[in-house]
Amino acid sequence: MAEDGLNSFMSGPDEQGRFGLFGGRFVSETLMPLILELEERYEHAKTDPSFWAEMDDLWKHYVGRPSPLYFAPRLTEHLGGAKVYMKRDELNHTGAHKINNVLGQIILARRMGKTRIIAETGAGQHGVATATVCAKFGLKCVVYMGAHDVERQAPNVFRMKLLGAEVIPVTSGRGTLKDAMNDALRDWVTNVRDTFYCIGTVAGPHPYPAMVRDFQSIIGKEVRWQLAEQEGEGRLPDVVVAAIGGGSNAMGLFYPFLDDPSVRIVGVEAGGKGVDDRMEHCASLTGGRPGVLHGNRTYLLQDADGQILEGFSISAGLDYPGIGPEHAWLHDVGRAEYVSITDAEALEAFQLCCRLEGIIPALEPSHALAQVMKLAPTLPKDRIIVMNMCGRGDKDIFTVARHLGVQMKV
């Protein structure tokens, strides 16, 4: 229960699209009418059984949900403390949690009569998921990707092209996720009448943060019944842990547990080379302060003059100077705790998971895993940690090889 004992932590956002101070609709006038229409259509779809019937059918037969909740015995034994469970969202079609949300938005776009879909992508997972669903429904798909990310995520770029999407490398700024989002917004302003912007994380103007959270909440909802099935009726996790760039896989895992006070909630930001004055990290909550970017108010990495700083992370999917507004609020009200993990720690967790569990994790959930490695040994053996294995690591093997000093021929 929330601080006054009456309100729920799950009731946000308010009618202004705010989670406390955070969120809102900070967009240009050209986009405002569409944002309002989207909100109206989403509010309607939310309570429309036919919408959810379509989602459930595709989740089951196209994505492969429910994803398993896997008890990791060797990792648990190695860490010597709490039992570690992994929510295996890397087993979804396209290899990450991103498709949970993409399906919802594309079904909505189709209902709104939009024929052209645009998306931004960092690691390429959201781009691949969007290209996939667009191919399935025969929709035109354009993906904006920072030029730097195009280079470090080449396999995903090729996947998107195979799926029929146009991938536009973005060279403005430093060519990462933030810059890709700027160019996607510019495209949207230009093509607002026929185009739907499929945002990949719990950020952007209202209603995106709430809508993406709702679609991703399938993760936490499944964890609830799956854990009860394996550990006994009513058994909740003691800790839930997830990595955060924008924060969509984390919101999806956390949201269904917000009103269970016994569940400790831990978000893991990308600490890059370390959260200090050099600002070579992406830890918006630990190293940033509130500001307005990409349609919402949230914690941002910025200089004293309000100019946005480029983040830094080994993981392209976490390389974003902001964080979803609901996380900013959960941080400020103290319902969730947020920590950071460095590149080096994530790389170590990546390798440990490969060897102990036979699972090659993406670099993004490797950050969550690194936090589990710190946390599990400090907890008694009857405690349960659930971490979100939100993506598989095939896309990252070249990056990891380079960091480990291994030469690979493609």
Partner 1 sequence: MTRIDDTFARLRAQGKKAFVSYIMGGDPDEATSLAIMQGLPAAGVDVIELGMPFTDPMADGPTIQAAGQRALEGGMTMDKVLAMVRAFRKGDQTTPIVLMGYYNPIYSRGVDRFLKDAAEAGIDGLIVVDLPPEEDDELCIPAQKAGLNFIRLATPTTDDKRLPKVLQNTSGFVYYVSITGITGAAAAQASDVGPEVARIKRSTDLPVIVGFGISTPEQAKAIASVADGCVVGSAIVKDIGAGVPVAEVLARVKALSDGAHSA
Interacting residues toward partner 1 by CB under 8 A: 16, 24-34, 172-173, 178, 182, 185-186, 189-193, 290-295, 297, 300, 302, 304-308
The CB-of-369 to partner 1 minimum distance in angstroms stands at 32
The CB-of-189 to partner 1 minimum distance in angstroms stands at 6
Measure the CA angle with vertex 375, ends 370 and 377; round to 5°. Answer: 110
Read off the tokens for 309.
């700083």
Q: Which is nearer to partner 1, 28 or 378 (CB)?
A: 28
Read off the tokens for 334.
């103290």
Read off the tokens for 242.
């997830």
Answer whether 228's CB lies under 8 Å from 235's CB: yes
Q: Which is nearer to partner 1, 50 or 307 (CB)?
A: 307
Q: Which is nearer to partner 1, 28 or 230 (CB)?
A: 28
Question: Residue 194 burial by CB count (10 A; 0-12/13-18/19+): exposed, middle or buried?
Answer: exposed
The CB-of-303 to partner 1 minimum distance in angstroms stands at 9
Q: Which is nearer to partner 1, 72 or 308 (CB)?
A: 308
Answer whether 325's CB lies under 8 Å from 300's CB: no
Answer whether 59's CB lies under 8 Å from 361's CB: no
d(CA 243, CA 317): 10
Gyration radius of the chain's alpha carbons: 20
| φ, ψ (nearest 5 deg) of residue 87 | -85, 115
The CB-of-381 to partner 1 minimum distance in angstroms stands at 48
The CB-of-214 to partner 1 minimum distance in angstroms stands at 21
DSSP assignment of 45-88, as one string?
A: HHT-HHHHHHHHHHIIIII-PSPPEEE-HHHHHHHTSSEEEEE-
Sheet strand arrangement including 264-272? 69-71, 83-87, 384-388, 239-244, 264-272, 337-342
Question: Residue 71 burial by CB count (10 A; 0-12/13-18/19+): exposed, middle or buried?
Answer: middle
Report CA 212 to chain centroid distance, whole Å: 9
Q: Which is nearer to partner 1, 271 or 295 (CB)?
A: 295
Q: Which is nearer to partner 1, 21 or 401 (CB)?
A: 21
The CB-of-175 to partner 1 minimum distance in angstroms stands at 13
Tokens 């209902």, residue? 111
The CB-of-296 to partner 1 minimum distance in angstroms stands at 10
**Can you name the residues that pair with 166 across neighbouring β-strands?**
142
Q: Which is nearer to partner 1, 174 or 221 (CB)?
A: 174
Q: Which is nearer to partner 1, 104 or 291 (CB)?
A: 291
d(CA 407, CA 290): 42
- Name the DSSP class of 194: T
The CB-of-119 to partner 1 minimum distance in angstroms stands at 16
Read off the tokens for 162.
């195979």
Q: Which is nearer to partner 1, 34 or 389 (CB)?
A: 34
The CB-of-160 to partner 1 minimum distance in angstroms stands at 23
Q: Which is nearer to partner 1, 193 or 409 (CB)?
A: 193
The CB-of-61 to partner 1 minimum distance in angstroms stands at 38
Angle between helices 125-137 and 98-111 (to 10 degrees): 40
Residues whose CB is less than 8 angstroms from the CB of residue 206 and which lie 6 or more positions away in sequence, other chains included: 13, 16, 17, 18, 23, 24, 25, 35, 39, 295, 296
